[in-house]
Amino acid sequence: MSIAQEIHRIQQELATTSARLVVVTKTRSITELQETFAAGVVDFGENRVQEMVEKQAQLPSSIQWHQIGHLQTNKVKYIAPFVHLIHSVDSLKLLVEINQQAQKNKRIIPCLLQIYIAQEESKFGLNQKEVTQLIEDPIFMTLSHIRIVGLMGMASFTENVAQIKKEFQSLKSLFDDLKANRVGESTGLVQWEEISMGMSGDYLLAAELGSTLVRVGSAIFGPRG
Ligand SMILES: *Cc1c(COP(=O)(O)O)cnc(C)c1O
């Protein structure tokens, strides 16, 4: 199947769920990204800053760029002029820098807090307590150029569907708690709207469990080289 056919197949699968497709274009060529755009997709996900910046300069300005990978503080300035949504915020220090660069660019940058849901040691993210601490920190309230619009999580790298399901459910349940208790909303800087979860192997499961943004690459383009 062509890139466009794969995209339309996945969009059809997601049509009865609340999830939207973010096409993960990391390592893919400009030609492949042009094909993706021609198929009607505007949400593109990249995990390396330099790659995103280079591609952004060569592609239509209507593309909405999602930063999905771990973001270093010293790289924020390169994506701040254009980034649509940062999925991978895992510290107050990073958020302070995003706020500063957003202000310089006269923008408000929407962000997701990355939550640690996997069993693996290596994955980045906050736990439930750290989310509350971050939002209740006095410094947080001063960050008028960011918005926290939801949560992001990465499941363990495993074939064990029950394990993945458990991890997605834990993210959804944290989200539901934060939303029900309107955590942080009085600051005007928080709106609980998005749950970014699900990749090529598990996007349908994630969508069924309440994901609003699935991040899919290899199911569209094939394995990364
Ligand atoms: C690479 C990546 C994806 C997409 O992975 P696929 O298995 O190719 O769908 C999703 N989320 C993050 C954070 C990634 O780095």
Q: Where are the beta strands (DSSP E) in the chain?
A: 20-24, 43-46, 64-67, 85-89, 109-115, 146-153, 190-196, 213-216
The dihedrals phi and psi of 70, each to the nearest 5 degrees, come to: -55, 135
Q: What is the pLDDT of residues 141-162, one digit of tens each?
A: 999 999 999 999 999 999 999 9
Ligand 1 pocket residue status of 172, Cβ below 6 Å: no
Question: 201 CA distance to ligand 1 centroid (A)?
Answer: 10
What is the DSSP pairing of strand 64-67 with strand 20-24?
A: unpaired
Pick the residue whose CA is nearest to atom 7 on ligand 1: 200
Question: What is the pTM (predicted TM-score) of this model?
Answer: 0.97
85 φ, ψ to 5°?
A: -155, 130
**3-state DSSP of 208-224:** HCCCCEEEECHHHHCCC
Q: What is the pLDDT of residues 162-214, one digit of tens each?
A: 999 999 999 999 999 999 999 999 999 999 999 999 999 999 999 999 999 99
Please name every residue paired with 194 in a beta bridge, in sequence order, or none if there are none.
Answer: 150
User: Is any atom of ligand 1 closer than 6 Å to the C-beta of 26?
Assistant: yes
